[in-house]
Amino acid sequence: MRIIRAKDYEDIGRKTANIIAAQIQLKPDCVLGLATGSSPISTYQNLIRMYESGDLDFSQVRSVNLDEYKGLTPDHDQSYAYFMNENLFKHVNIDHANTNIPSGMAPDGAEEGKRYDELIRSLGGVDLQLLGIGANGHIGFNEPCDEFIKGTHQVTLAESTIKDNARFFESIDDVPRYAYTMGIGSIMSARRVVLVANGVNKAQAVKDCFFGPIKPTSPASILQLHPDFILVADEAALSLVADQL
């Protein structure tokens, strides 16, 4: 595990965008694993700036997103399909046919999981997986549970996640209770994993997952075993482990 210390959220965005830009420049048709949530937005903004200044070309990039709420259509303003379009895809020259997100409208989680895992395999796997982290240590929507689930699957969202994400919806009752998420095996199979963490509300998760034991109740902790895992975190997110850096 490598830790890149950033000053603040903006600095995380610049540093992480540089890593992703290097990946695209070295392999223009790379497969990027992409994430939603507020954490990666500054990274996406920096990638958009690089594209606009002519430094980055997304024309051959393929992408697979981590997760999607079950039951939301892609045009729902809280779906992750909508998020990706608003925060990255529509601002760069990525071919929409090369972007992939689990379908929130797929009725059967097992079928959708199988389809998505086959799709990832057919693309040759993920070159660089970008991740945020939930305050409870979740990655994608892999919630704390008693096993690491390998493939794409349906999850029941944790009450704490529903509460955390309610800020994006009109009311907590509008937050979907289920989601589809890429599994821990698919994330661990990515050739490089970059996780962004900012703010003091992530400090406990950073401590538990990256400085504590590896266990499925701290889902991101398994990344300690990844051969090319980079944590990009600001001072606030690292505040509980400052003495161990």
The site for ligand GLP (CB under 6 A) is made up of 35-39, 66-67, 132-134, 140-141, 161, 165
125 by DSSP, 3-state: which? coil
Q: Which of 65, 112, 127, 138 is catalytic?
A: 138
Q: Which of 191, 223, 226 is nearest to 27 (CA)?
A: 191
Q: Which of 68, 143, 208, 234 is catalytic?
A: 143
Q: Which residue is nearest to ligand GLP (CB)?
A: 132
Q: Known catalytic residue: 95?
A: no
Q: How many angstroms from the chain centroid is the CA of residue 111?
A: 22
Q: Which of 130, 136, 190 is nearest to 159 (CA)?
A: 136
Q: Known catalytic residue: 170?
A: no
Q: How many angstroms from the chain centroid is the CA of residue 83?
A: 12
For ligand GLP, which is the closer residue by CB, 35 or 126? 35
Q: Known catalytic residue: 235?
A: no
For ligand GLP, which is the closer residue by CB, 102 or 134? 134
Q: Which of 46, 65, 87, 136 is catalytic?
A: 136
Backbone angles phi, psi at 52, to 5 degrees: -65, -30
Helix and strand numbers (H, E) in the chain are 7, 10
Q: Known catalytic residue: 136?
A: yes
Nearest approach, Cβ of residue 212 and ligand GLP (Å): 19
Active-site positions?
67, 136, 138, 143
